[in-house]
Amino acid sequence: MPFEYVRPATLAEALEFLAEHGPESRLLAGGTDLILEMQAKKASPRFVVDIGRLSELRGVRHVQHGAQAFIEVGALTTVREVETSPLLAEEGRGLALAAASLASVQVRNRATLGGNICHAAPSADTAPALLVLDALAEIAGPGGTTLVPLDQFFLGPGRTLLGPCDILLGFRIPRPIARRGSTYLKHSPRRAMDCAVVGVGASISIVNGKTLDVRLALGAVAPTPMRALRAEMVLRQAGELSPGALAEAAHEAAGEAKPIDDIRASAWYRRRMVEVCARRALERAAMESAD
């Protein structure tokens, strides 16, 4: 892999380097995707820009922007740090569960949340979990910094709206006023070291027995991680999580999915499993919100 290794000392330096050499560069965070890509000759950049140690882009914390409170997760926070974050265990458990389900401890100690999202595999575990938390992606580039709702971030398998000179800085998760339960359910042949055949993220806010708000997101069953908007609408209109409403929403989600046949599973099987897993994820999220 003949490339030039570059390690900018600060975010500003990194952006400056990319402004000039972006199209010939790849960003190195944890390396657990990029190194494999380069070995498989799917990437042969002239420069590998190591941003893995930019501590300014790492960490899970509460922040305030104007009147809105957020949980901010830096793009270079390792998946292991996401998995074990006390803050996320309390306020974003689905994301912590998704992180815990990814590969192995060894991979999670290097892989980053930003890297998992930017690699943009349709089956990326952290994507459905972030989507149901209404996460926004903060992106820095030559034109400045922008905030993009995560459901607009993915363009296709392995493709995002990031330009060659952009750096994903991190994620902002709005902190809701009502108690919100969230979960991530991963359906795969093995309990570890597998890509999801179906991945489901769900979040529910319930107040006084009434379903205030619902989010449902699916991974590995469409060209990109996706929100199941029609399923959400079913539950919103039902106003409660009766077995009937859950069954109807899960069935709707299965219809919204666009799975393909591939080496891991058939489209038919994936669609059936969306229905099962969506219902289970919603039930679990509801239990979380009642805690």
Q: Measured from the CB of residue 167, what is the shortest distance to another protein in angstroms?
A: 17
Q: Could you write out the three-class secondary structure of 108-125?
A: HCCCEHHHHHHHCCCCCC
Q: Measured from the CB of residue 244, what is the shortest distance to another protein in angstroms?
A: 34
1/207 with CB nearer another protein: 1
2/243 with CB nearer another protein: 2
CA distances from 79 to 30, 84, 115, 126 (A): 10, 9, 9, 9
Q: Measured from the CB of residue 126, what is the shortest distance to another protein in angstroms?
A: 17
Q: Which of 153, 171, 165, 138 is nearest to 71 (CA)?
A: 171
Query: Cβ distance 179 to 32 under 8 Å?
Result: no
CA distances from 251 to 105, 106, 226, 235, 280 (A): 35, 37, 16, 12, 12
Distance of CA 154 to the CA centre of its chain: 10
Query: Cβ distance 281 to 201 under 8 Å?
Result: yes
Q: Measured from the CB of residue 115, what is the shortest distance to another protein in angstroms?
A: 12
110/251 with CB nearer another protein: 110
Q: Measured from the CB of residue 21, what is the shortest distance to another protein in angstroms?
A: 15
Q: Which residues contact 284 (CB under 8 A, 6 or more apart)?
A: 181, 183, 185, 202
190/291 with CB nearer another protein: 190
44/266 with CB nearer another protein: 44
30/170 with CB nearer another protein: 30
Which positions lie near another protein, rule CB under 8 A? 1-5, 7, 28, 30-32, 35-36, 38-39, 48, 50, 52, 80, 100, 103-107, 109-110, 191-193
Cα–Cα distance measured from residue 142 to residue 20, given in angstroms and rounded to the nearest whole number: 10
Q: Measured from the CB of residue 128, what is the shortest distance to another protein in angstroms?
A: 21
